[in-house]
Amino acid sequence: MVLALLGVGAYFQFWSSPDLPTVTVYKSPSCNCCGEWVTHMKEQGFPVEVESRFDVKPVKKQVGLPSSLAACHTAVVDSYVVEGHVPAQDVKQLLRETPDVRGLSVPGMPVGSPGMERGDRVEPYEVVTFTPAGDTTVFAQYGR
């Protein structure tokens, strides 16, 4: 029975994320909102690996994240950096379009972003792309 359930679970995971790459998330083990973002990504079909770190600043530096774009967790998917509470739909769009950028960021921790839900409240926030030189462009806007 257990093996049958494991088989169904493996089938479901394969079925729910056929072409999506693994997202590796670097986060503090005590951060609840980061865990909620991981859940959001899994619910949207991404396979996710979590690397718990008490200090994620070295990871941010290693991936070339400008400090002005920092949030609570950092993820890597394919060759892109995903910083903070970026919606899964934006990560999927990034992977489809493959722009020449270093990644996406939602700076800070805006209420209403994935993992930061607080009822119906949504603070306006932007998802931005960033280049290795630190240039940013608005990729998406929410709560406006």
The pair of three-digit structure tokens given for residue 129, joined into one six-digit string? 């792309």
For the sheet containing 136-142, what is the strand order?
48-52, 23-27, 74-77, 80-84, 103-106, 125-130, 136-142
CA dihedral 64, 52, 38, 136 (to 10 degrees): -10
Confidence bin at 144 (pLDDT 50/70/90): confident
Entry pTM: 0.87
pLDDT confidence of residue 102: 98
In angstroms, what is the C-alpha Rg of the chain?
Answer: 16
Q: What is the domain partition of the chain in residue ranges?
A: 23-142
pLDDT, one tens digit per residue, over 77-94 is 999 999 999 999 999 999
Q: Is 58 helix (H, G, I), strand (E, B) or coil?
A: helix
pLDDT confidence of residue 8: 40
Q: What is the mean pLDDT of residues 47-65?
A: 97
pLDDT, one tens digit per residue, over 27-42 is 999 999 999 999 999 9
